[in-house]
Amino acid sequence: MNIRGLDTEVRKIRKKTFKEIAKLAYNSKNIIDDLESLPYEMSDAETPRFWESIYRERAVTRERLRLAMGLSLRPENKPVHATQGVDESDIAEKYYEPPLMQVIPSACNACAENMYIVTNQCKTCTAQPCAKVCPRGAISLVDGKSYIDQEKCIKCGKCKNVCPYDAISRQLRPCAAACGVDAIQSDEYGRACIDSEKCVSCGMCMVHCPFGAIADKSQIFQLIRAIQSGKEIVAEIAPAFVGQFGANVTPAQVKEGLKQLGFSAVYEVAIGADQGCMAEAKHYVEKVATGELPFLLTSCCPSWSVLAKKFFPETIDNISNELTPMVATARKIKEDHPEAGVVFIGPCASKKLEASRKTVRSDVDFVITFEELDGMFAAKGIVLSQLETDESDEINDATSAGRGYAVAGGVADAIEKCIREYYPDVEVKIEHAEGLSECKKMLTLAKVGKKNGCLIEGMGCPGGCVGGAGTNIPIIKANQEVKKFVDSAERKLPAMEEES
């Protein structure tokens, strides 16, 4: 079962962690001492809730708090104080220690990587088809039940497929099953670890781990410090935000809530998406439709772009070089507010890396997710559904096309509509893939010439941005909310003069 979108204990723990780190930034007079005491406050009973001992529970909490402060995990084989590095992270600017995604060893369950086992549903049937189809003779009767010898088993799955009682279970490590680039490995103790050379920081491993053993680093502490410094801070919020903070919370209430946190203004990232879809429509018409390029890959999803660059380097020249919506909107903000800091608020973990890259100046000072923002609202006691708003709080700057970037297929659809509207004589072929496994298949086909003439949209997360690692609600519900937000836009397509 896919646990995405369920209000699990893991999700509650993450929100509590972000809330406590935000409260630390807002209220603490002694960061070191207060951070030291937090694991005891968060696990204040002697009976553990989730682990076999209260000591392990607090150890896991300490590491979660470090990551939420933007710090790296402590090594398990060296004496490193729980608050080491806090002074360096207590700043009013972006703070980032790579890598972004980390496995907390003390929280990892060391799940089986790939194993077939016989469950108690085995009926010891006379036919025993599982043993008959096994090519290695790995199945025998032990104590009256079928038994699989793991030393002989080659994980072909034939026994599972033939069992009439579905008594054979395939055990997979959830984080590895969710990773589309095979970046999840095992350490010497059988615990999960992440191969940073393969990882594209989509965060799917994080949201699929039922133990909450994988977490990304947060910038909320440093963001709060920047707001407290008195510097003007402007928020740009991705279109997937609708519905993320409560079923009855309006976009205007989210904007008002952001202002109460101290942001001076709020921009729609869909403004940058409008610029991008016009630019990529022109790029397609001039480069792909003329045959100069065999195909064009969209660039708005950083995990998709990094996937292409890491695993399909021959496609690099086919990746759009247009600014992503996040960066395009940030540059618009810098034009309007030259001295302001810019915060991208979205569903995406990998945007934190995009904002930190050196090859293209992002103009983005901080990146936080909807999940992290929810923790900030909680820390300040802001209940969005109770906020009063007026017409000045309405968010109505972007078109339907730009807002549609939030869902899988929306980027390609927006570009296609712009081409059909402004270049009606050009035939356009559209493809899209969602989830890294499907993205890899699509890039493989493009590499061998099977997608020539196509505009190809890739989204690292299944469902698109609404399925990102930093979201708060189920994908189906998020899709419904985005559709309403798309339909509410006063304009359907950006005008030709908005092209950049």
Q: Alpha-carbon torsion 124, 128, 134, 140, what sign? A: positive
Band of pLDDT at residue 150, cut at 50, 70 and 90: very high
Among 104-118, 163-177, 353-367, the range scoring the smallest mean pLDDT is 353-367
The rounded Cα 89 to chain-centroid distance in angstroms is 23
pLDDT of amino acid 498? 45
Residue type, 462: P
Domains 9-109+179-222 and 114-172 share a fold: yes
4-48 confidence digits (pLDDT tens): 778 899 999 999 999 999 999 999 999 999 999 999 999 887 888
More confident residue, 270 or 390: 270
Non-local CB neighbours of 218 within 8 Å, separated by 6+ positions: 18, 21, 67, 68, 69, 70, 368, 372
Kindly indicate the confidence band of residue 159, based on its pLDDT and cuts at 50, 70 and 90: very high
Q: CA 243: distance to chain centroid?
A: 17
- Token code pair at residue 145: 């039940």
* Burial status of residue 160 (CB atoms within 10 A of its CB: 0-12, 13-18, 19 or more): middle
Instruction: State both tokens at 227.
Output: 């707001």
Cα–Cα nearest to 36, from 60, 13, 65: 65
- Which pLDDT score is estimated for 75? 87
The set of residues, in sequence order, having a beta carbon less than 8 Å from that of 30 and lying 6+ positions away, is none
Per-residue pLDDT at 52 exceeds 60: yes
| Domain map (residue ranges) of the chain | 9-109+179-222, 114-172, 232-498
Q: What is the Rg, in whole angstroms, of the alpha carbon atoms belonging to the chain?
A: 25
CATH topology of domain 9-109+179-222: Alpha-Beta Plaits (3.30.70)
What is the predicted pLDDT for the residue at 447? Answer: 96
483-492 per-residue burial string, b: 16 or more CB within 10 A, e: under 16: bebbeebeee
Q: Render pLDDT for 395-439 as a digit per residue (tens, 0 to 9).
A: 778 999 999 999 999 999 999 999 999 999 999 999 999 999 999
Categorize the per-residue pLDDT at 315 as very low, low, confident or very high, splitting at 50, 70 and 90: very high
Left (φ > 0), alpha (ψ -120 to 50) or beta: where does 157 sit? left
Q: What is the DSSP letter of 473?
A: S
Per-residue confidence at 56, pLDDT binned at 50, 70, 90? Answer: very high
The mean pLDDT of the chain is 94
Q: What is the model's pTM?
A: 0.93
What is the tens place of the pLDDT at every residue in 179-230? 999 999 999 999 999 999 999 999 999 999 999 999 999 999 999 999 999 9
106 pLDDT exceeds 90?
A: yes
High-pLDDT (> 90) share of the chain, % = 89
Question: Tell me, what's the pLDDT at 500?
Answer: 42
Find the mean pLDDT for residues 262-271.
Answer: 96
Q: Is the pLDDT of residue 1 over 80?
A: no
Q: 454-459 and 296-297: which strand pairing? A: parallel
CATH level 2 (architecture), domain 114-172: 2-Layer Sandwich (3.30)
Q: Are 451 and 445 in contact (CB under 8 A)?
A: yes
pLDDT score of 234: 98
Q: Which three-class secondary structure state does DSSP give residue 157?
A: coil
Give residue 408's pLDDT.
96
SS3 state of residue 168: strand
Largest CA distance in the chain: 78
The conformation of residue 105, written as its DSSP 8-state character, comes to G
Query: Residue 437: what pLDDT?
Result: 96
3-state secondary structure of 156: coil
Confidence band (pLDDT; 50, 70, 90) for 497? Answer: low
**Cα separation values, 252 from 340, 369, 466, Å:** 22, 19, 20
Q: Is the pLDDT of residue 2 over 70?
A: no
Assigned token pair, 498:
């908005």
What's at 260, amino acid-wise?
Q
Residues in CB range of 462: below 8 A, 6 or more apart: 204, 408, 434, 435, 475
pLDDT at residue 253 in the model: 96
- The DSSP code sequence of 413-437 is HHHHHHHHHH-TTS--EEEEEESHH
Residue type, 311: F
* pLDDT score of 499: 43
Residue at 359: amino acid letter: T
